[in-house]
Chain A
């Protein structure tokens, strides 16, 4: 089955800098790549996604890049703010029933 590796388990950046979280996947059939944010003690909520028919998507300060050849996708958070501090999970789906999650990256934005 699909395996999603999330490379950074922790990441610290200064407020205003950019943060980049990288994920790789194994199944070439994966075609949908969402990102979720989990704040301390809370549930996951959706932040942004990208589908395999594009290689870049932006929503305000969030940019997702997809490199299908390398089976790699990344989340870029620009102009970070303290409220961006959370655990971020990447996921991949082949479009059948299941989502496979990475292990999560704990992002700390230092004021």
Chain B
């Protein structure tokens, strides 16, 4: 089936550093999402993105977070600076036509902030 690729699978960084998480969504998909999962439990919505713009973001999407997809390349989540509570698994997802369509998830990036 359609695949969403996330790079890297695991990232370890020191608190205060910048990190960029990369996502290669399904090629013809138009909507992109980031979710945060802590301890294998709750999937917390962070942000969604369409047509070059953030459409909706949650309270978890702090000012230190930003997303972009320059020229149809990777859809990225940047955290600058990182904090200890940012440690989690971040899942990227994409869908063809928004939230009435199936979300396809990547394998996740495990971020460890020390």
Interface residues of A (CB under 8 A from B): 31-32, 34, 36, 38, 42-46, 49, 51, 87, 89, 93-101, 103-104
Selected from B43, B99, B106, B107, the residue in CB contact (under 8 A) with A93 is: B99
On chain A, the residues within 8 Å of B40 by CB distance are: 38, 87, 104
Which 7 A-B residue pairings sit nearest by Cβ, starting from the closest? A93-B99, A101-B43, A97-B55, A44-B105, A43-B105, A43-B107, A97-B48
CB distance from A16 to the nearest CB of B (A): 27
Say whether chain A's binding surface is mostly helix, strand, loop, or mixed. strand
On chain B, the residues within 8 Å of A97 by CB distance are: 31, 48, 50, 55-56, 98-99
B32-74 interface with A by 8 A CB criterion:
33, 35, 40-45, 48, 50, 55-56
B interface size (C-beta, 8 A): 24
Mask: chain B, 71-97; 1 = CB below 8 Å from A; 0 = not: 000000000000000000001000000
Whether B105 and A98, one on each chain, are in contact in the complex, defined by CB atoms closer than 8 angstroms, is no
Between A and B, 11 residue pairs with Cβ closer than 8 Å are: A32-B100, A44-B91, A45-B105, A49-B102, A87-B40, A96-B98, A97-B56, A97-B98, A98-B56, A101-B35, A101-B44
Which residue, of B35, B56, B105, has the highest number of chain A Cβ atoms within 10 A?
B105
Cα-based distance from A31 to B45 in the complex (angstroms): 18
Check if B108 is an interface residue, CB within 8 A of chain A. Answer: yes
Cα-based distance from A35 to B45 in the complex (angstroms): 16
Cα-based distance from A97 to B43 in the complex (angstroms): 16
Whether A94 and B102, one on each chain, are in contact in the complex, defined by CB atoms closer than 8 angstroms, is no
User: For residue B101, which residue of chain A has the nearest CB?
Assistant: A32
